[in-house]
Chains A and B, each alone.
Chain A
Amino acid sequence: QSVLTQPPSASGTPGQRVTISCSGSSSNIGSKTVNWYQQLPGTAPKLVIYSNNQRPSGVPDRFSGSKSGTSASLAISGLQSEDEADYYCAAWDDSLTGLYVFGTGTKVTVL
C-alpha cells in the first residue's frame, strides 16, 4: 500500500551528491511533515531525517532533507560506500485514518 512514489534506484561515485525524490499528495506530504529512513541490507530501517529536514543525533550532516508542496527530497552529499542502502520516505496521511504511509523505496548504489 505504498502511497508515496520514489524512483526505484539512484547511484553515484564516492564523493558525489545523490538526490532522491518522493512524490505524494495534499493529504500526506502536502499537509504533513516527511521522514526518511535508511535500511542497510539485512537490518531494520533507521530514521535519518525527520520533520522534513531535521537530523537525529548521530546522523552525519551529509544527509539533508527538503520539502516543497506535495514533494520531498533526500540528498546525500559526499557519498560514501556505507551509504549503499534502501531509502524510504514516509508521512502521515489525512485521507487514511490513522495511517502512516511509506514511499516505494529507492536503492542507492555507490559505484
Chain B
Amino acid sequence: QVQLVESGGGWVKPGGSLRLSCAASGFTFSDYYMSWIRQVPGKGLDWVSYISTGGSAMYYADSVKGRFTISRDNAKNSLYLQMNSLRAEDTAVYYCARVFEGGADYWGQGTLVTVSS
C-alpha cells in the first residue's frame, strides 16, 4: 500500500534553515508528481510546492518562493523540502503528498516545524 513518511521537522529560530524529507513506498515513485502541503495547527491547508516526475519543473506558493526549494531523488524514492530564511508564519505541520491529475491523493502523517525565538 502507498506509504509516505515525513521526517526532519523540529524547532528552529527565525532566519534559520531546516530540511524535510519524505520516504515513499508502495508505488512507482518516479511516475508521480509530488508535493508539500502545510497546515498551521488548528487552521486550514495550504499548498506549498510541487515537483514534476523527473524533477525538472517545480512550482511554489508565493509565500515561500525564493526561500524554499523542493527536490527529489527517484533512486531513493525520496522527496525533500529545503527551507531557508524561516519565519514565524512558517510554523506548521508539513505533509508530503502524492499528486494525481486531479490533485493530491495520498498524504503522509506530517512533520511539525516550529519557528520561534
Verify that A and B bind, or say they do not. yes
Additional 17 contacts, C-beta under 8 A, given A2-B44, A45-B107, A98-B50: A33-B103, A35-B102, A37-B45, A43-B109, A44-B110, A45-B45, A47-B104, A50-B100, A50-B102, A90-B45, A97-B59, A99-B61, A100-B35, A100-B103, A100-B104, A104-B44, A105-B45
**Nearest neighbor of A56 in chain B, beta-carbon distance:** B105
Total of A-B residue pairs, C-beta within 8 Å:
61
Q: Which residues of A contact B (CB under 8 A)?
A: 1-2, 33, 35, 37, 43-47, 50-51, 56, 88, 90-92, 97-105
| Range class of the B interface residue count | 20 to 34
Indicate if the CB atoms of A99 and B47 lie closer than 8 Å: yes
The chain A residue with its CB closest to the CB of B43 is A105
Report whether over half of chain B's contact residues are helix, strand or loop; otherwise say mixed.
strand
Name the interface residues of B95-112: CB closer than 8 Å to any CB of A.
95, 100, 102-110
**Is B73 an interface residue when CB atoms closer than 8 A count as contact?**
no
Provide 11 A-B residue pairs closer than 8 Å at the C-beta atoms, listed in order of the A residue.
Answer: A33-B103, A35-B104, A44-B107, A44-B110, A88-B44, A88-B45, A98-B59, A100-B37, A100-B47, A101-B47, A102-B45
List, in ascending order, chain A residues with CB within 8 A of B45's CB.
2, 37, 45, 88, 90, 102, 105
Min Cβ gap B110→A in Å is 6
Q: Is A102 in contact with B59, judged by CB distance below 8 angstroms?
A: no
